[in-house]
């Protein structure tokens, strides 16, 4: 079955640096969503990019989507200590009923 | 800002007991979901619910699981006879009336089965 898969990274960066993480998936999608999860807590929605969009911005977040490569990237610019979290991509199947398929997540640690 | 709420935040139960996890979706949303996350693993889809019936369920959602919308605001997940492997964080989510929309997640219920 199709699923979002992040590059299984643990990023450790200094405050102020940019953080980039990637996600790949296997089959056609309606949209791709990025979520943040602070340790043991709930999932906070960050951004949704539709299959006909290539790039989207929201504040310090920039998401790209390449449907030909079935991949997406999330860039966090000018990172802050509060950005320390796990980041997940989730895909909504093109022929599905809204179920989201989540990747394994990227752990990002921003060092003050 | 409207948000999805879940109760309880934590639940400890004995194997074989029934548990009911409760959720209050965002008020104008019509699609509701349950997901779970076993410690250290991916978030997994369990079930979606629309118009008072299940619209899709995963292979995890077997006969031990059921969902209900008993009134206009609550959405519940029942596990009839809990197993050790049901220990996980359970997330409720909701979205507006068409698919391809953002799913907003609640804070989760951490279930521990002993």
For residue A91, give both structure tokens: 């895909």
Which residues in chain A touch residue B103, judged by CB atoms under 8 angstroms apart? 33, 45, 98, 100
Contact A23, A4 (CB under 8 A): yes
The count of C-alpha atoms lying within 13 angstroms of the C-alpha of B62, restricted to the half-sphere facing its C-beta, is 6
Q: Pick the residue of B99, B107, B108 with the most A CBs within 10 A to test the interface with A by mutation.
A: B99
The pLDDT tens digits of the residues spanning A59-104 come to 999 999 999 999 999 999 999 999 999 999 999 876 666 788 898 8
Q: Say if residue A2's pLDDT is above 50.
A: no
Measure the CA–CA gap between B107 and B93, rounded to whole angstroms. 9
Q: What do you get for the CA distance between the two ends of chain B, in Å?
A: 37
Dmax over CA atoms of chain A, in Å, equals: 44
Contact B25, B7 (CB under 8 A): no
CATH of region B5-113: 2.60.40.10
A99 near B CB under 8 A: yes
pLDDT recorded at residue A75:
96
Instruction: Report all structural domains of chain A as residue ranges with CATH numbers, in order of start.
Output: 5-111 (2.60.40.10)
B5 near A CB under 8 A: no
pLDDT recorded at residue B100:
63
pLDDT recorded at residue A42:
86
pLDDT recorded at residue B68:
94
Other CB atoms within 10 A of residue A78 CB? 11
User: Hey, which residues does B68 pair with through a beta bridge?
Assistant: B76
Taking chain B (114 residues) in runs of 10, the rounded mean pLDDT of each run is: 91 97 93 93 92 91 94 92 96 81 92 97
Measure the CA–CA gap between B63 and B79, rounded to whole angstroms. 9
Q: Do B56 and A96 touch (CB under 8 A)?
A: yes
Domain-wise residue ranges, chain B? 5-113
B43 near A CB under 8 A: yes
Q: Say if residue A1's pLDDT is above 50.
A: no
The pLDDT tens digits of the residues spanning A7-62 come to 557 889 999 999 999 999 888 888 899 999 987 788 999 999 999 999 999 999 99
For residue B25, give both structure tokens: 């979706």
Q: Do B107 and A41 touch (CB under 8 A)?
A: yes
């Amino acid at each position: 079955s199709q699923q979002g898969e992040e590059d299984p990274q643990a990023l450790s960066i200094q405050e102020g640096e940019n953080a980039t993480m990637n996600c790949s998936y296997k089959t056609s999608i309606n949209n791709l969503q990025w979520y943040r999860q602070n340790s043991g807590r709930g999932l906070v929605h960050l951004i949704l990019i539709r299959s006909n969009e290539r790039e989207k911005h929201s504040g310090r977040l920039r998401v790209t989507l390449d449907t030909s490569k079935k991949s997406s990237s999330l860039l966090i610019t000018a990172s802050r200590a509060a950005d320390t979290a796990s980041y997940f991509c989730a895909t909504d199947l093109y022929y599905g009923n809204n179920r989201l398929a989540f990747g394994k997540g990227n752990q990002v640690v921003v060092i003050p | 800002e409207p948000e999805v709420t879940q109760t309880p935040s934590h639940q400890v139960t004995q194997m074989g007991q029934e548990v009911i996890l409760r959720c209050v979706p965002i008020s104008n949303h019509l699609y509701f979901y349950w997901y779970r996350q076993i410690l250290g693993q991916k978030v997994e889809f369990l079930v979606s619910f629309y118009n008072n019936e299940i619209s899709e369920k995963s292979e995890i959602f077997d006969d031990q699981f059921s969902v209900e919308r008993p009134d206009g605001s609550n959405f519940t997940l029942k596990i009839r006879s809990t197993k050790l492997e049901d220990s996980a964080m359970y997330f409720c989510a909701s979205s507006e009336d068409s698919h391809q929309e953002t799913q907003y997640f609640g804070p989760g219920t951490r279930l521990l089965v002993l």
